[in-house]
Amino acid sequence: MLKYLFVLLPLLWSYIMATNVTHCHNGAPLPLSVNIEGCDEPPCDVFKNETAIMRIHFVSTKNNIRSLTTQVKAKVIGLTVPYPLPDKVADVCSNLMYGAICPIYKTEDVVYQFNFFVENIFPEILVSVDISLVDDSHEPITCFTCDIKVKSRKARKERNQVNGHLLLLGD
């Protein structure tokens, strides 16, 4: 009984803390919930040189899925650009949470943690991002769209010495 409690509590928490996302245009179902750390309402701020963490809670629409891959497409100024991910990041099965493993069976609900490193070279702009989880036959199992804002993290406090005194500047 206690084992089920440890599984159900995090899933319940994911519903409560969910980020509002929208449907993709590929017709795939929305996940049950998406939690982007630090964001309830898009656009979600993501910071350069940091990892954006997304927990995607979804239900399998197919039976015996042995492999799932994350595909990311960014939409900027009317252009849709695929964004390739490292294999370790794109592999859904190796990033499932709460003891879930592949194969995933039809109607099984699982949570995938997607850790996306925001490169320093990314421009500081608003981007609409489609995130699809696709099977071996390239069919989407779930998909969502979310607006993100790429930002630089500014130091909140700057320390300066003036005449031997420490001054705190900033917010």
Cβ 74 vs Cβ 128: under 8 Å:
yes
The CATH number of 22-152 is 2.60.40.770
Q: How confident is the model at residue 5 (pLDDT cuts 50, 70, 90)?
A: very low
Q: Which of 24-33, 131-140, 151-160 has the lowest mean pLDDT?
A: 151-160
- Amino acid identity of residue 4, one-letter, is Y
The structural domains of the chain, with segments of one domain joined by +, span: 22-152
Residue % of the chain over a pLDDT of 90: 71
For residue 153, pLDDT over 70 is answered with yes
Cβ 21 vs Cβ 34: under 8 Å:
yes
Task: For Cα atoms 3, 7, 108, give the angle at the middle one, nearest 5 degrees.
Answer: 115
Q: What's the whole-number mean pLDDT along residues 139-150?
A: 96
